[in-house]
């Protein structure tokens, strides 16, 4: 039987040193990977709309700001928070700071505002597209889709606005 002795160099085995050298050489042969350019920046309107739509079915609760129950402005605040944008808490405050958007120029994620009674804005929803919006409607209801063409909303619509810079 032949017994092999490990290679020794001044009393130290060369096997670990050879293995380390081999790994270094192999690492140097790794293929070059060019940095892949990022795609266009994500549209914050679509992202916040996704956050709002994910809450469809959640119950209405006065003062609710999620994640399990909402009032109308709480749903807006929650959706914007999910994309890192801080917004005022009430529908009237959101209307006051929003950049006005003509109805014909609405984009997904824009806000639509309504007067329920009196002169102050009292309700807000997030525009989906196709004249539809997602909102938390009232006590006993739940987050759902509605139409700007519905007579009740059409009569109370006061305007639309945007709280983020729209992508070009």
Alpha-carbon distance 42 to 56, whole Å? 22
Active-site residue, from 24, 29, 119, 135: 135
Q: Is 119 a catalytic residue?
A: no
Active-site residue, from 24, 29, 72, 119: 72
Going by C-beta distance under 8 Å and a sequence separation of 6 or more, which residues neighbour residue 122?
Answer: 91, 92, 114, 115, 116
125: closest CA among 158, 85, 91, 166?
Answer: 91
Q: Output DSSP code: residue 103.
A: G
Please state whether beta strands 111-114 and 12-13 pair in parallel, antiparallel, or not at all (unpaired).
Answer: unpaired
Q: Is 123 a catalytic residue?
A: yes
Q: Is 135 a catalytic residue?
A: yes
Alpha-carbon distance 154 to 145, whole Å? 15
**Chain center to CA of 19:** 48
For the annotated catalytic residues, the residue numbers are 72, 123, 135
């Amino acid at each position: 039987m032949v017994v092999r002795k490990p290679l020794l160099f001044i009393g130290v085995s060369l096997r670990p040193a050879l293995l380390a050298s081999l790994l270094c050489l192999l690492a140097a042969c790794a293929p070059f990977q060019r940095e892949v350019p990022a795609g266009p920046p994500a549209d914050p309107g679509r992202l916040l709309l996704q956050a709002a739509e994910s809450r469809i079915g959640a119950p209405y609760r006065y003062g609710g700001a999620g994640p399990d129950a909402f009032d109308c402005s709480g749903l807006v605040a929650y959706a914007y928070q999910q994309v890192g944008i801080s917004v005022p808490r009430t529908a009237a405050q959101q209307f006051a700071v929003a950049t006005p958007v003509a109805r014909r120029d609405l984009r997904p994620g824009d806000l639509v505002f309504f007067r329920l009674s009196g002169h102050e804005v009292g309700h807000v929803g997030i525009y989906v597209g196709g004249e539809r919006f997602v909102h938390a409607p009232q006590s006993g209801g739940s987050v759902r889709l509605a139409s700007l063409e519905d007579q009740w909303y059409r009569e109370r619509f006061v305007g639309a606005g945007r709280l983020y810079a729209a992508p070009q």
